[in-house]
């Protein structure tokens, strides 16, 4: 009988209002002016600096740090923006521990890199706080028009660079607002106070960029039409699809796509309205898995377990991010692959996982040993896929490995179409890499339109 079942423990408002504020406040509080000066003084101003080489956007890190140290934070911010117009967001979300900070020579000296990410945030925040005017002026209008599809980091970076060169740009965005993963995907405590929208406004303030939201490729617009109406097209559409668990019971209620849940969380004006389970299991090993696990915990989930099919070493989430999860009380279980979701009255109640081992070539094989974890909610964070809608068929735009094939200039198989960000083959699932794609494509588009 249905009423004899104990219903799953999923509730909104598990915490007090103060708890929500505290739990979703800045994960890494910004440096004060004095802290920034002292930290900046740790930079050795290296020759041919390894940090700059490690930065996908090649920010001149020693220069911007020196500018903080000399009391010139606005100049510092401009040094950052020169290479990365989304330097403010990258300062918040970059896995610096595997990029610039991993390359810092201070690691060799004392195992403690200069806090480059926090310094970058200090400089860019100062710029935003002082309400400076846009740092660049547009070149004279070229009369050329470029369509940018997707208002995420790749699209914004591309649009900005093109607008700066004097081209007119229209950004078509499927969602109701711009920002892409900065707005809908990044964990809330990494980008507080609506920074993503402030940054979008900052990017657009160069002028010459018009925005059309709620315009999805394949639904409202087609590549064919965009090519006809514009001098060039940039595709920065991201990954709209979600990988399936391919486990029995995947359609049970309570089995949730982590990306969608995080988007809801980011858009929620009141976090106490978000229902979260008492026992939560997250399947996956990347940044999304960490983000949903930590945020679930911070929404009040009692037990949160990440189950990953390989060992922690193999997780795409950095050791540092794993550490964040662990210090938030998340349990990480390795070498467990989902086999079966066990439901009751149409709702998930537990997940059965099989212990797997990898052979020397990395192929996983089941051991037959199973583990069953009770779960009120199971979040799927096992990667996303490119959805090639509205591209005019596979013949028109060449794909590679299920994503858009591009050359070094981010040019696709179509001569007037470029692409970047997560939707291209080799896309790195990094904001900073998407920005670099947008930059490279913009330079190539500008060259092509100027020829």
Q: List the interface residues with other proteins, window 254-293 (CB under 8 A).
A: none
Interface with other proteins by CB under 8 A: which range of 37-45, 170-178, 331-339, 374-382?
37-45
Strands (E), 198-322: 209-213, 232-235, 241-242, 255-257, 276-277, 279-283, 303-307
Q: Which is nearer to other proteins, 72 or 222 (CB)?
A: 72
Query: Binding residue for other proteins (CB under 8 A) from 16, 22, 44, 210?
Result: 44
Closer Cβ to other proteins, 50 or 241, answer by number: 50
Question: Least distance from C-beta 95 to other proteins, angstroms?
Answer: 22
| Nearest-angstrom CA–CA distance, 265 and 183 | 11
- Beta-bridged to residue 168, according to DSSP, are 145
Q: Residue 320 belongs to what H/E stretch?
A: helix 319-327
111 binds other proteins per the rule CB under 8 A: no
Q: Which of 2, 6, 108, 451 binds other proteins (CB under 8 A)?
A: 108
Does residue 15 belong to the site contacting other proteins (CB under 8 A)?
no
Closest CA to 162 of 381, 344, 420: 420
Cα(298)–Cα(245) distance, integer angstroms: 25
Pick the stretch among 100-108, 163-171, 265-273, 392-400 that binds other proteins (CB under 8 A): 100-108
The Cα-based distances of 36 to 12, 90, 138, 194, 434 in angstroms read 39, 18, 32, 23, 28
Residue found under tokens 């708890």: 19
Binding mask 67-96 toward other proteins (x if CB under 8 A, else -) reads --x---------------------------
* DSSP, residue by residue, 68-128: HHTT-HHHHHHHHHHH-TTHHHHHHHS-GGGTHHHH-THHHHHS----HHHHHHHHHHHHH
Considering only 40, 148, 186, 430, the residue that binds other proteins (CB under 8 A) is 40
User: Alpha-carbon distance 27 to 321, whole Å?
Assistant: 12
Q: Please tell me whether residue 451 binds other proteins under the rule CB under 8 A.
A: no
Q: Which is nearer to other proteins, 36 or 206 (CB)?
A: 36
Q: Which of 5, 17, 21, 38 binds other proteins (CB under 8 A)?
A: 38
Q: Which of 16, 22, 32, 45 binds other proteins (CB under 8 A)?
A: 45
Closest distance of CB 45 from other proteins, Å:
7
| DSSP 8-state code for residue 438 | H
Q: Contact with other proteins (CB under 8 A): which of 11, 28, 106, 145?
A: 106
The residues binding other proteins (CB under 8 A) are 34, 37-38, 40-41, 44-50, 69, 105-106, 108-109
């Amino acid at each position: 009988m249905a009423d004899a079942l104990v219903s799953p423990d999923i509730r909104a408002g598990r915490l007090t209002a103060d708890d929500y504020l505290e739990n979703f406040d800045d994960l890494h509080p910004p440096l004060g002016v004095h802290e920034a000066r002292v930290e900046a003084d740790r930079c050795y101003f290296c020759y041919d600096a390894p940090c700059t080489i490690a930065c996908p956007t090649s920010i001149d890190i020693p220069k911007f740090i020196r500018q903080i140290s000399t009391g010139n934070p606005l100049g510092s911010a401009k040094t950052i923006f020169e290479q990365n117009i989304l330097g403010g967001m990258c300062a918040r979300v970059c896995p610096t521990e595997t990029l610039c900070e991993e390359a810092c020579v201070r690691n060799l000296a004392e195992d403690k890199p200069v806090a480059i990410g926090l310094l970058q945030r200090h400089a860019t925040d100062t710029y935003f706080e002082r309400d400076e005017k846009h740092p660049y002026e547009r070149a004279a209008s070229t009369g050329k028009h470029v369509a940018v599809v997707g208002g995420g980091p790749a699209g914004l970076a591309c649009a900005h660079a093109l607008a700066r060169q004097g081209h007119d740009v229209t950004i078509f965005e499927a969602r109701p607002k711009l920002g892409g993963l900065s707005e809908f995907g990044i964990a809330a405590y990494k980008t507080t106070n609506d920074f993503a929208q402030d940054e979008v406004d900052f990017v657009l303030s160069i002028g010459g960029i018009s925005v059309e939201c709620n315009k999805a490729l394949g639904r409202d617009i087609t590549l064919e039409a965009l090519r006809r109406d514009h001098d060039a097209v940039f595709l920065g559409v991201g990954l709209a699809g979600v990988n399936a668990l391919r486990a029995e019971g995947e359609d049970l209620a309570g089995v949730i796509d982590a990306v969608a849940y995080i988007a809801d969380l980011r858009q929620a004006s009141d976090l106490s309205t978000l229902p979260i389970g008492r026992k939560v299991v997250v399947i996956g090993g990347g940044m999304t898995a960490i983000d949903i696990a930590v945020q679930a915990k911070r929404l009040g989930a009692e037990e949160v377990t990440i189950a990953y099919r390989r060992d922690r070493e193999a997780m795409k989430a950095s050791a540092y991010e794993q550490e964040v999860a662990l210090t938030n009380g998340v349990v990480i279980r390795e070498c467990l692959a989902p086999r079966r979701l066990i439901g009751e009255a149409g709702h998930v109640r537990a997940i059965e996982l099989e212990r797997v081992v990898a052979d020397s070539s990395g192929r996983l094989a089941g051991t037959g040993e199973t583990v069953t974890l009770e779960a009120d909610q199971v979040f799927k964070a096992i990667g996303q896929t490119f959805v090639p809608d509205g591209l005019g068929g596979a013949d028109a735009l060449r794909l590679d490995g299920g994503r858009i094939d591009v050359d070094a200039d981010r040019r696709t198989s179509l001569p007037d179409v470029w692409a970047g960000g997560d939707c291209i083959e080799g896309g790195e699932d990094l904001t900073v890499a998407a920005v670099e794609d947008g930059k490279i494509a913009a330079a190539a588009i500008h060259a092509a339109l100027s020829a």
